[in-house]
Amino acid sequence: MVSKIPYFFFRSMNILKSDKKMILIALCPVIIGFALYYFLGQYAFNEVSTWGHGYINEKYPDQGWVSTVFSGVLIVLLGVIINWTFFLVISFIASPFNDMLSARVEVIYNLQKKESDTLVATFKRLPSILLNEVKKVGVIVILSVINIAFGFVFPPVTFILGGLILAISFIDYSWARHELRVSECIRDVRKGFLPYLLGGVCFMFLISIPLLNLFFLPLAVVFFTVIFCELRINKQASNEEVSS
């Protein structure tokens, strides 16, 4: 499956750009994200920057270049935190559109009925989608804190767990739609462990880029759904061979 990662990526790109409905769905969270960045992002960063400079000057007055370095590092860290916070907020707001994208991919793979990727079907699932997204954000925050703690002991673990956490946050749209049990989700991760892991690590870096991460968000949804669909198709083919 690892050797098929380039195939998964280009397959995702082809699906995303060749299907007009996918393009329209993908544009919705991008537009919402740009609006949030424009109206709230600049304000939040300016406020936090002012607070950071004030905090450093208060704690390290008259320290010359030392306070300048500390101030720069603090501003960068706060900028990263703000970026990730905005990304989580945008992901939550975009969750109905992400679910539609994921469902559309499964329709293309003939794993879902054609009606499952419509606005009507999505709005029927909206309460469960939003509730699932709240749970997901909570789990991601908790796992991220644990991941950071592990990082102090063994830094490479941070990349592994971080990649898996990110991958799971996107695969979960398919898991929720298929109502998979926890044991089935774990089995799915085991079967696609390396593609999920490597894809998660790559997208972990891509979505850390402000503004550009808005474009990588729908691509990540499609990418991980493609892997999920390929695993399901391989499983069905294996079951058919056994039964025959």
> Which residue, 137, 107, 136, 134, is CA-closest to 122?
107
Element (H, E) at 52: helix 42-59
Contact 160, 197 (CB under 8 A): yes
End-to-end Cα spacing for the chain = 25
CA distance 133 to 138: 9
The pair of three-digit structure tokens given for residue 74, joined into one six-digit string: 């603090």
Contact 116, 107 (CB under 8 A): yes
Contact 99, 54 (CB under 8 A): no
The whole-model pTM stands at: 0.78
Cα within 13 Å of Cα(62), Cβ side: 0
Please, what is the Cα angle at 243 between 242 and 244, to 5 degrees? 90
Per-residue pLDDT of the chain (244 residues; tens, 9 = 90+): 667 888 999 999 998 888 888 888 888 888 888 887 777 766 666 666 666 666 666 666 655 565 566 666 666 666 666 666 777 777 788 888 888 889 889 988 888 776 665 667 777 777 777 777 777 777 777 777 777 777 667 767 777 888 888 898 899 889 888 888 888 888 999 999 999 999 998 998 888 787 788 888 889 999 999 999 999 888 877 766 656 5
Domain ranges of the chain: 2-32+87-237
